[in-house]
A and B are shown apart, each in its own frame.
Chain A
Amino acid sequence: MTTVNLTVNGKPVAAKIDPRTLLVQFLRENLRLTGTHVGCDTSQCGACVVHVDGHAIKACTTLAASCDGASVTTIEGLAHNGELHPMQEAFREHHGLQCGFCTPGMIMTAVDLVQRKGNHLEEHTIREELDGNICRCTGYHNIVKAIAAGAEAMAGQVSAQAAE
């Protein structure tokens, strides 16, 4: 057994775990944060994407122990005070999800994408950046629209925060 200390969605977490525990197992089974999903086990589908120290990573192929000391944000940590994050709201508004299984990973990837590439995203940029996220329901059409809209809305959020 090994000990890990993490911050998950802003709260400190310490646990003794089997060293082979994957981050996704730790989040789902130890912390019961079941919004992060496992869709493929091979880092292809992106249903397991979370943020570690602000960067999107695939939790299905990351050892929990390797995240010792890190700050992890999952889909459950995105909304604040009962208000959806603009990207969550954009997925809802643009019907960017159907079965919802890939959605947490899509949204976490999209937020990371905006952080890296800015708020004004071209369609082809979004499509290219979604290479590591598979959706079987939507044909991606409304996901692409949702991410473009969510990215713009995030700009509004930043300026609103600055104004406060």
Chain B
Amino acid sequence: MSVAQIGQSVRRTEDQRFVTGKGRYVDDIGRPGQAHAFFLRSPHAHARIRRIDLHEAQHAPGVVAVLTGDDLAADKIGGLICGWMIHSKDGSPMKAGPHPALAQGKVRYVGDHVAVVIAETLAEAKDAAEKIVVDYEVLPAAVDPAKTQAKGAAQVHDEAPNNTVFNWHLGDKAATDAAFAKASHVTTIDLVNNRLVANAMEPRAAVGDYDSGTDNFTLYTTSQNPHVARLVLSAFIGIAPENKLRVIAPDVGGGFGSKIFIYAEETVCVWAAKKVGRPVKWVAERTEEFLASAHGRDHVTKAELATDAAGKILGLRVHTKANLGAYLSTFSSSVPTYLYAPLLSGQYDIPAIYAEVDGVYTNTAPVDAYRGAGRPEATFVVERLMEVTARQIGMDPAAFRQRNFVRSFPHQTPVIMCYDIGDYNASLKKALELADYKGLGRRKRESARKGLLRGLGFSAYIEACGIAPSAAVGSLGAGVGLWESAEVRVNPVGTVEILTGSHAHGQGHETTFAQLVSARLGIPMEQVSIIHGDTDKVQMGMGTYGSRSGAVGMSAIVKALDKVEAKAKKVAAYCLEASESDIEFKDGRFTVKGTDKGLSFGEVALQAYVAHKFDGQELEPGLKEGAFYDPKNFTFPSGVHIAEVEIDPETGVTRVDRWTAVDDFGVLINPLIVEGQVHGGIAQGIGQAMMEGAVYDQSGQLVTASYMDYRMPRAEDFPLYQIATTSTPCPSNPLGIKGCGEAGAIASPPALINAITDALGHEDIAMPATPQAVWKAAQKTVHKLAAE
């Protein structure tokens, strides 16, 4: 392997272990003497627990312990927390009920945790769980987010009257109302952003371990942010002080947001390890993932767009009911508020915006961040409004967008965000060309000849990534700062270890981060190791979500590398007997300006450790530097996706015929990996638009709790995607990176629904546009066409 460059599609170094079956996921970890946990879950959406009889279960074969919420309370283990305070528009703090890791007195959704059985084998734990007798008083359930605030609806928590956690708003209501008053056209749409389940292929898992000799706990967990898990488990839940709790997130098989949060199961496993004196392991079955991992989206929205006679947008007004489920998950309150409404300006110059959001409780699984988190919901609102408005006022949808694009930067929107840079028209122009927009009419006629309906839809998305400036998010209610840390350890022989607070669960950090270091230090990639996911190795970090690991995580590495280079130059100056200001570093060599005298990076590293050539009082030996990087601003990836579909009105089957994506991610470190992120995001977005949906029946039973019922996207559902990029390097971080992890999932749902509604010739379809739904909608089209 040679010295890597920025912008090179280096093949991933981590793949060697994954393609040979040597990845090490939590379920692959076996601790000596470990016992197995199985959670007894509520079969009811809402019930009071009158009594739990554990006697028979406790005496079943192989059982080590059966524990309930009373045991947690007796040990003073605190409940799970929500780390983002939202204030309602009247200034009052959000109203949240308690969230015990094991139920105390009441269960509030199907899958809620009633008790845990710990046994020698998983089979024995499951058998024993069947012997627990729970006397439930079943209560009426509030399931529908649109109806949960109504008078007479079942109350999920006494603390939140009318099931309203907050009634929050953003923007200038009076200015927006005034804009609407002078509009020549108002477009009104009602949207449901369907509830999704993240479905990382690796189910969540946890192994708790306790060393009574040292009083140290270790938790192996499927986490995107092990340090945040340690912080919460220590400071809020009270398992152990941070110095006595090690959290390890080894290889993690996908997250998509669902593994950010601190859950009941890992809390119980690490606590129980001390209680029973054995390592305790739990691995979710897929159905448990459906029942009790945080879900995503689930918005009910009314949105209006005001335009003038020339097709210029005057204002945007949005009212959303956001389902938060039965308990507030770790970052749930931030998703439908500050990760949502600040993106409602899209790529457009909109003078006035007002958004109102009701965060509501229902008797369903907690809802929190899922790939994109708030930004897909905002993009769906904006891009559906753009398309529908263009159709209603008779403008070409591309031209209508062009008329309203933000053209000068920085651009302050009316909803917090200040866009630093972009060229929205460049992406649109490129996308129109690649998608052969001009040939659409011909393709539509060809489809019509076959009795098929063809449609094309746009989505010009923007997102806020690089999450996030700590002071900014602190002022908005975040309980944490969102910087990132890095430590660069140069070893005496010139090999390098990078310790990062970012966590990789598919993103390829071991490659891209090493690529960055290799390019910067001029050393081969194999001399660089990336270490992450272990709180005993990496001191502190904020983890990976919100497309932040490039823009924030890598910027921290750059900052630490700057310090390493500065120190190495001092060492080189001593060794080369030159002035520090005359030392230059290029292509892995330190040279004295204007001479051929020089030392390699490895030679300087060795000199730093042997410390023979300099006074250890003036210059410390060693070569190791750390940095915390706090971003100045969010980053604003943007782009245009164009979907083209062909619908068979006889069957309702929609075939995605073409997909064109032109994204502006700023500077790319590894284009191959970036493209992979875009592919995956698009597939999840198409999944949301056409297939996926978590459905509760009226009694609160989850009727889509396995892959037999929840329609996961499969290989056959997609065409090969056509991917391209434009680039306006981000000015607010040293690498010019914007982030690419969520773009596909943010952009694609409205593109697809816009394409389907274009094909249908009417707007009457909701997500997921399944064959059944499309067939019904297409009947209207067929009748209309027949009448013409």
CB interface residues, B 679-719, toward A, < 8 Å: 679-684, 706-708, 712-716, 718
Chain A residue contacts of B18, Cβ below 8 A: 97, 100, 103
Question: In the complex, what residue of chain B is closest to A98 when comparing beta carbons?
Answer: B506
- Taking a contact as CB atoms under 8 Å apart, the answer to whether B505 and A99 are in contact is yes
A107 within 8 A of B: yes
CA distance A123 to B25 in the complex (A): 31
A143 interface neighbour in B21, B682, B715, Cβ under 8 Å = B715
In the assembled complex, A141 has its CB within 8 A of some CB on chain B: yes
A99/B200 contact (C-beta < 8 A), A44-B707, A137-B680 known: yes
Contact between chains at B714 and A75 (CB < 8 Å): no
Which of A92, A98, A103, A104 is B676 in contact with, Cβ under 8 Å? A98
Interface pair B680/A126, CB less than 8 Å apart:
no
Interface contact B287-A41, CB-CB below 8 Å: yes
The answer on a CB contact under 8 Å between B682 and A100 is: no
Question: Does B11 contact A95, Cβ atoms closer than 8 Å?
Answer: yes
Asked whether any CB of chain A lies closer than 8 Å to the CB of B720, the reply is yes
Do B707 and A74 touch across chains, with their CB atoms under 8 A apart?
no
A140 and B715 contacting across the interface, CB-CB below 8 Å: yes
Contact A127 B256, CB 8 Å, known A36-B21, A136-B680: no
Does A42 reach chain B (CB closer than 8 Å)?
yes
A98 touches B19 (CB 8 A): no
Per the bound structure, the CA–CA distance linking A35 and B22 in Å amounts to 6
In the complex, whether B666 has a CB less than 8 A from a CB of chain A is no
> Do A74 and B716 touch across chains, with their CB atoms under 8 A apart?
no
Which of A95, A107, A135 gathers most chain B CB within 10 Å? A95
For residue B124, give the distance in angstroms from its CB to the closest CB of chain A.
10
Q: Is B507 an interface residue (CB 8 A)?
A: yes
Of the listed stretches B247-255, B260-268, B381-389, B593-601, chain A binds B247-255
**How far is B287's CA from A41's CA once the two chains are assembled, in angstroms?**
9
Residue of B with least CB distance to A21: B123
A76-B21 in contact given A18-B123, A38-B27, A92-B15 (Cβ < 8 Å): yes
Whether A13 sits at the interface, judged by CB under 8 Å, is: no
The answer to the question of B453 belonging to the interface, with a C-beta cut-off of 8 Å to chain A, is no
B720 touches A123 (CB 8 A): yes
Interface size range of chain B in the complex: 35 or more
**CB-based contact B12/A95 at 8 Å:** yes
Interface membership of A14, Cβ < 8 A: no
Contact A137 to B254, CB < 8 A, known contacts A39-B202, A88-B19, A98-B676: yes
> Which residue on A lies nearest to B9, using beta carbons?
A95
Q: Which residues of chain A from 64 to 108 have any CB-CB distance to chain B below 8 Å in the complex?
A: 74-76, 78-79, 84, 88-89, 91-93, 95, 97-104, 107
Q: A75-B20, A88-B20, A136-B200 are known contacts. Are A99 and B715 too (CB-CB below 8 A)?
A: no
Which residues of B277-302 are within 8 A (CB) of A? 283, 285-287
Query: In the complex the two chains form, what is the Cα distance from A127 to B717 in whole Å?
Result: 8
Instruction: Give the CA-CA distance A22 to B20 in the complex, in Å.
Output: 22
Q: A41-B287, A140-B715 are known contacts. Are A134 and B20 too (CB-CB below 8 A)?
A: no
Contact among B23, B672, B684, B718 with A101 in the assembled complex (CB-CB below 8 Å): B23
Q: Which residue of A lies closest to B673 (CB)?
A: A95
Contact A104 B21, CB 8 Å, known A37-B202, A98-B508, A138-B680 = yes
Beyond the given A88-B19, A136-B684, could you list 18 further A-B residue pairs with CB under 8 A, ordered by the A residue number? Answer: A20-B123, A28-B28, A37-B202, A75-B21, A76-B20, A92-B15, A95-B672, A95-B676, A97-B19, A101-B200, A101-B201, A101-B254, A126-B715, A136-B256, A138-B680, A139-B713, A139-B721, A142-B676
8 contacts across the A-B interface (CB closer than 8 A): A74-B21, A79-B20, A95-B676, A101-B25, A134-B712, A136-B712, A139-B718, A141-B718
A residues lining the B interface (CB < 8 Å): 18, 20, 28-29, 32-42, 44-45, 47, 74-76, 78-79, 84, 88-89, 91-93, 95, 97-104, 107, 123, 126-128, 130-131, 133-144
Give the 8 A-B CB pairs with smallest separation, nearest first.
A35-B21, A101-B253, A100-B18, A139-B683, A99-B506, A75-B21, A44-B707, A98-B506
